[in-house]
Amino acid sequence: MDITFLGHACFLLNDGTCKVLTDPFLTGNGLAAVSAEEAEADYIFVTHGHGDHVGDSIEISRRTGAPVCCTVDLAAGVFSPAGVETVVGNLGGWIPLPFGKTKIFQALHGSGVPGCLSCGFIFEMGGRKIYHAGDTGLMADMALLADEEIDVALLPIGDLYTMGPDDALRAVKMIRPKLVIPMHYDTFPAICQNPDAFAAAVEAAGFSAKVLRPGESLTI
Ligand code: NI
Ligand code: MN
């Protein structure tokens, strides 16, 4: 099971049979590790309707044939009008998929689409559980994730629009994942952070963290 960070909130999850791409904001992202034309995907997951998450998902879906997986309201508001094939669910539900399944988990954040809620995802894939938090502030609901026995938590640390490093550390203590990978920082000047200092704080609290530079992969 490989996790590749492509920049911002975009990851490629690959279990050797299926490629899952998340929040592919590549065009206009100076730190993106691949271009929208190069990005590979069998499924594209989008957490909410803000431009730095929808990103190039419509173009990548059209080129690759990968459906966009998201909440029913985001599909109705953004992807279905664009003629993009979607796989939908809603908060709290598991979506069965060929690689395993994905739970739509709440996020505390605007969605950018009226009537639509923002979300994160729990991927059960390649014998692992990976939590992609999406954009979110700290919320007590994260304590529910301790029961999910998360292997890897992808958490925003950029502050301003999402949790900053201090609240992300509080989130780690609730989620209790085996490994934390920070995301959603440094893309813009307003969300510059020191991911190594965050990782050190996570380690000091008794958990494990790994900073992936855009383009770097980790096998779990
Ligand atoms: Ni957002
Ligand atoms: Mn964002």
Query: For the domain that residue 127 is a member of, what is the CATH number?
Result: 3.60.15.10
Considering its fold, how many domains does the chain have in total? Answer: 1
Of all ligands present, the nearest one to the C-alpha of 10 is 2
- Residues with Cβ < 8 Å from 5, sequence gap 6 or more? 11, 33, 181, 183, 212, 213, 214, 215, 216, 217
How far CA 133 is from CA of 97, 150, 182, 215, in Å, comes to 19, 12, 10, 20
The reported pLDDT for the residue numbered 121 is 99
Classify residue 141: in a domain, yes or no: yes
The reported pLDDT for the residue numbered 76 is 98
The reported pLDDT for the residue numbered 140 is 98
Q: How confident is the model at residue 185 (pLDDT cuts 50, 70, 90)?
A: very high
Classify residue 148: in a domain, yes or no: yes
pLDDT in tens, 37-94: 999 999 999 999 999 999 999 999 999 999 999 999 999 999 999 999 999 999 999 9
Say how far apart CA 207 and CA 157 lie, in whole Å: 16
Share of the chain above pLDDT 90, in %: 100
Looking at every residue in the chain, the average pLDDT score rounds to: 98
CA of residue 218 to ligand 1 center, whole Å: 25
The reported pLDDT for the residue numbered 123 is 98
Average pLDDT over residues 146-154: 98
CA of residue 52 to ligand 2 center, whole Å: 5
What is the pairing mode between strands 19-22 and 10-14?
antiparallel
Q: How confident is the model at residue 156 (pLDDT cuts 50, 70, 90)?
A: very high
0.85 cut: is pTM over it? yes
Indicate the DSSP class of residue 211: P
Average pLDDT over residues 181-202: 98
CA of residue 146 to ligand 2 center, whole Å: 24
The reported pLDDT for the residue numbered 145 is 98
Classify residue 176: in a domain, yes or no: yes
CA of residue 50 to ligand 1 center, whole Å: 5
Say how far apart CA 173 and CA 202 lie, in whole Å: 9
Classify residue 220: in a domain, yes or no: no
Classify residue 40: in a domain, yes or no: yes
Of all ligands present, the nearest one to the C-alpha of 23 is 2
CA of residue 21 to ligand 2 center, whole Å: 16
Classify residue 218: in a domain, yes or no: no
Classify residue 219: in a domain, yes or no: no
Q: Which range of residues forms the domain containing residue 207?
A: 2-213
Q: How confident is the model at residue 176 (pLDDT cuts 50, 70, 90)?
A: very high
Classify residue 22: in a domain, yes or no: yes
Average pLDDT over residues 3-15: 98
Whether the Cβ atoms of residue 131 and residue 175 lie closer than 8 Å to each other: yes
CA of residue 184 to ligand 2 center, whole Å: 7
CA of residue 78 to ligand 2 center, whole Å: 16
The reported pLDDT for the residue numbered 13 is 98
Helix (H) or strand (E) holding 95: strand 94-97
Q: Which residues crowd ion ligand 1, with CB under 5 Å? A: 50, 135
Dihedral, CA of residue 43, residue 46, residue 47 and residue 52, to nearest 10: 140
